[in-house]
Amino acid sequence: MARIPDGFIDDLLARTDIVEVIGARVPLKRQGKEYSARCPFHDERSPSFWVSPTKQFYHCFGCGAHGTAISFLMNYDRLEFLDAVDELAKRVGVEVPRDTRARNENSDTQDLIHALEAAQRFFLRQYSTSGKAQGYLDNRGVSIDIRDRFGIGYAPDGFNGLRDALGTDERRLKLLDRAGLLSKNDSGRVYDKFRDRVMFPIHDRRGRVIAFGGRVLDKDDGPKYLNSPETPLFHKGRELYGLWQVRQTHNKIPRLIVVEGYMDVIALFQHGVDTAVATLGTATTPDHAELLFRNAADVYFCFDGDRAGRGAAWKAVESVLPRMKDGRQAFFLFLPEGEDPDTLVRQEGADGFDRRLQEAMPLSQFLFDSLAADVNLHTLEGKGRLAERAKPLLTQIPDGAFADLMQQRLTELTGVGARAASPQTHVPAQRASAAQRPAATPKRSLVRSAIALLLQKPALAAALEPPYGFARLNQPGVDLLVEIVDVVQQRPEISTGALLEHFAEHAQIGALQKLASQSLPGNEEHLQREFLDAIEQLQKQTVVQRLDELQAQQRDGGLGDAEKRELLALLQMRAGLQRAQ
């Protein structure tokens, strides 16, 4: 995706009144400096959703939803990033830097879209006169309404139907080719890619046809399903078949069900299960996972119960783990042998399918069951192996209650992690599980305080000058603190919301969001004093740390001249610090 310059985003967010943007969609009530509402992202009776005009971001204490005006539009209006930026830019009357809009405005893209539209019309016309294709859908019990909704068409038998109808000149032929509708044989002859197939158009988020899937009518005629190749418009790892129809059907999608085939989606819709989407002949990619969770908090993956199905499910686990923010849930439904969602929903109806979903395996169970499948948990060796396998996976889960609970479960299963209660471990504070924390409110570390203050008032970082002495301190979170200070120094106008946006992909984003949503007491002056205090303490700790290092090295007899001078300077500095206290 084209990158939009950070400065543009900061500026856009600074000019945007987040209260106005959200207030136009959700009734807000003023409460002191902030605004509250009943959360639009989860069901609740009393308001726990807050919008802060000074921080330029929103936060829900109930479900953890949070973000800037951009993320609000992405989540509430279900816009993609670029479209949300466009929308805000339109509101405040600024122009989005041109290169970032390439994909939207490129005339090439428009031509491709038009070629695909023409092809879609062609397939629909062919369908209306094909008894064979109509008979196939009749047999499968697909109603006229569903055929219309999904725009199901037919590609005629023979090699030149589409080519002759639409490829009337060289330019058009080229377009059809680039749209993935033609094939070429070794002797250079160009012919229709889809022949004698029922055609399923694949729509993008705006309902435009960007590709096709075709299903054979005669069993022995090529692969059962054939998809368009990757084109400038179609990347199968990023698209989900049926998502557009699901969005058309629901204002708020209660859950998404991920299946493997077009006919699964259609049969489910036909029987009243109207929240199913299909991956297009690929495993679940990280892009898919992102798209799924952006549209629904609960995602159910349906797979065959066989080995291949379990393998595919594991791929899905790997893609969703880094996206398991609090409030999101993933489930796995393994189908009985020889069945697929299509056959099941025909036999059992929507209610039967729903019962199966209710019994689906939660992600946590599938993960630990899979990891422990060939491990003897009655032995220490087995427990060790499970812990070793689980760790790299669990660290991918964003900070939050779910991450804590998964860590806790691992501890229950293996005992590993329980001893981490000692304060000197190198587990970052944000990662320490709920079980490891003392029952009382955890005392916030200095680093964490400094980060919290900075998030509250990014401009505080202006008072610091690089190089930062505390950057060498060996404590969890120091790197992040330095990173934040750097960003604010480069972008002094940055708001809390924009700062969070900058760190959206950071492993600690969950913790950052939590810190940012707290309301710290005190006025600006007070916050500034507290921040500079924390930084000073950190500098002192760095001096002590370096002293310890040098003295240890000295005991081992290995100090060079420069290091001796440094040691002396540090000792003097420490004496000075002590006098000052």
What is the smallest separation between the CB atom of 64 and Zn ion, expressed in angstroms? 7
Q: DSSP characters for 515-570?
A: HHHS---S-HHHHHHHHHHHHHHHHHHHHHHHHHHHHHHHHTT---HHHHHHHHHH
Compute the least distance from the CB of residue 253 to Zn ion, in Å: 16
Confirm if 89 and 96 have CB atoms less than 8 A apart: yes
- Of the residues 37, 60, 313, 345, which one makes contact with Zn ion according to CB under 5 A: 60
Tell me the closest approach of the beta carbon of residue 66 to Zn ion, in angstroms.
Answer: 9
Q: 483: closest CA among 496, 495, 499, 498?
A: 499
Residue 38 touches Zn ion, criterion: CB under 5 A: no
Radius of gyration of the chain (CA): 29
Element (H, E) at 53: none
Other Cβ atoms closer than 10 A to 162: 24
**Of 48 and 545, CB closest to Zn ion:** 48
| Closer residue to Zn ion, CB minimum distance, 43 or 169 | 43
According to CB under 5 A, which residues from 442 to 501 bind Zn ion?
none
Which residue among 8, 38, 42, 247 contacts Zn ion (CB under 5 A)?
42
Q: Considering the complex, state which of residue 296 and residue 316 has its C-beta at the smaller distance from Zn ion.
A: 296
What does 111-129 look like in DSSP terms, one character per residue? HHHHHHHHHHHHHHHHHHT
Count of alpha carbons within 13 angstroms of residue 147, beta-carbon side: 19
List Cβ neighbours of 151 (8 Å cut-off, separation of 6 or more). Answer: 120, 124, 200, 201, 203, 209
Taking CB under 5 A as the binding criterion, the range among 11-19, 55-63, 97-105, 556-564 that sits at the site for Zn ion is: 55-63
Q: Which of the ranges 42-50, 215-223, 271-279, 315-323 carries the binding residues for Zn ion, by CB under 5 A?
A: 42-50
Among 12, 19, 28, 39, binds Zn ion (CB under 5 A): 39
Which residues lie closer than 8 Å to 500 by C-beta, 6 or more apart?
A: 57, 66, 67, 68, 455, 509, 512, 513, 516
Q: By C-beta, is 45 or 378 nearer to Zn ion?
A: 45
Binding window for Zn ion (CB under 5 A); candidates: 27-35, 57-65, 159-167, 222-230? 57-65
CB of 153 or CB of 497, closer to Zn ion: 497
* Member of 21, 37, 63, 210 binding Zn ion (CB under 5 A): 63
Q: Which of 149, 138, 360 is nearest to 269 (CA)?
A: 149
Residue 28: CB minimum distance to Zn ion, A: 14
Distance CA 172, CA 167 (A): 5
Which C-beta is closer to Zn ion: that of 63 or that of 320?
A: 63
Q: Which position among 41, 57, 194, 468 is part of the footprint of Zn ion (CB under 5 A)?
A: 41
The candidate with the shortest Cα–Cα distance to 300, out of 250, 338, 335, 336, is: 335
The 10 Å Cβ neighbour count of residue 440 is: 6
Q: Give the residue with the Cβ less far from Zn ion, 60 or 372.
A: 60
Q: How far is the CB of 400 from Zn ion (least distance, A)?
A: 14
CB of 78 or CB of 574, closer to Zn ion: 78
Residue closer to Zn ion (CB basis): 60 or 259: 60
Are 72 and 22 contacting, i.e. CB atoms less than 8 angstroms apart?
A: yes
Give the nearest distance from C-beta 51 to Zn ion in angstroms: 12
In this structure, what token pair is assigned to residue 101? 């809009």
Nearest CB to Zn ion, comparing residues 325 and 383: 325
Distance set, CA 367 to CA 53, 301, 360, 406, 538 (Å) = 41, 14, 13, 10, 40
CB of 297 to Zn ion, least distance (A): 10
Query: Least Å distance between CB 433 and Zn ion?
Result: 24
Give the nearer residue to Zn ion in terms of CB position, either 62 or 281: 62
Stretch that binds Zn ion, among 31-39, 290-298, 407-415, 487-495 (CB under 5 A): 31-39
CB of 191 to Zn ion, least distance (A): 54
Beta strand 256-259 with 276-278 is: parallel
Whether residue 536 contacts residue 521, with contact meaning beta carbons closer than 8 Å, is answered with no
Size of the site for Zn ion (CB under 5 A): 7
Q: CA–CA distance from 133 to each of 124, 125, 129, 149, 321 (Å)?
A: 11, 12, 9, 16, 41
CB 261 within 8 A of CB 293: no
Indicate which single residue of 8, 11, 14, 62 sits in contact with Zn ion (rule: CB under 5 A). Answer: 62
Q: CA–CA separation, 455 vs 457, rounded Å?
A: 5
Residue span binding Zn ion (CB under 5 A) among the ranges 59-67, 119-127, 146-154, 351-359:
59-67
Footprint of Zn ion (CB under 5 A):
39, 41-42, 60, 62-63, 65
